[in-house]
Amino acid sequence: MRSELVEVVIKNVITTPKGVALFLGNNEKTFIIYVDLLMGEQITSYQQARSITRPLTYDFIRSLCVGFDIDVQCIVVTDMKDGIFFARVLLKQIWGKMTKIVELDSRPSDAILLALTHKKPLWVDRSLFQDLPDAKDLVKNWTKS
């Protein structure tokens, strides 16, 4: 991941006929990534700090990272092809004098939830961000209805 990055936040999460629309963006632009209903519910649960009765998959992954001293370094939405977004997760583990860095492919919904559970910022490749249409007005219209 050597390209220039833009930091974004989750601005809104709205259930639609296509699934759940995640509105991501900053002061410059807002864009949409659609995720399935379960992922949308889990992202909303983490945003609202809802208590759960049993650990979810992402709680399990966070526990694994803590247990093996793996630090989530960076979450980046890297690309979009044919309307499908792609993301990368950068992990770091230190064992004594040895440092291991691993970069993994990820669905954006998984990466976003990982960022939330590890309290890490969300990043988007700048060239992708510039190419995406601005959905600021769309989020305003959807939240009014």
Nearest partner of 101 among 114, 88, 118, judged by Cα: 88
Q: Give the total number of structural domains in the chain.
A: 1
pTM of the model: 0.84
pLDDT at 122: 94
Q: Which of 126, 113, 95 is nearest to 6 (CA)?
A: 126
Residue 69 sits in a domain whose CATH number is 3.10.690.10
CB neighbourhood size of 133 (10 A): 9
Taking only the tens of pLDDT, the chain with its 145 residues reads 556 999 999 999 998 887 899 999 999 999 999 999 888 888 888 777 777 777 777 778 888 888 889 999 989 999 999 999 999 999 999 888 999 999 999 999 999 999 988 899 999 999 999 999 998 877 666 655 5
Query: Where in the sequence is the domain holding 34, given as residue range(s)?
Result: 5-144
In contact, 33 and 49? CB cutoff 8 Å: no
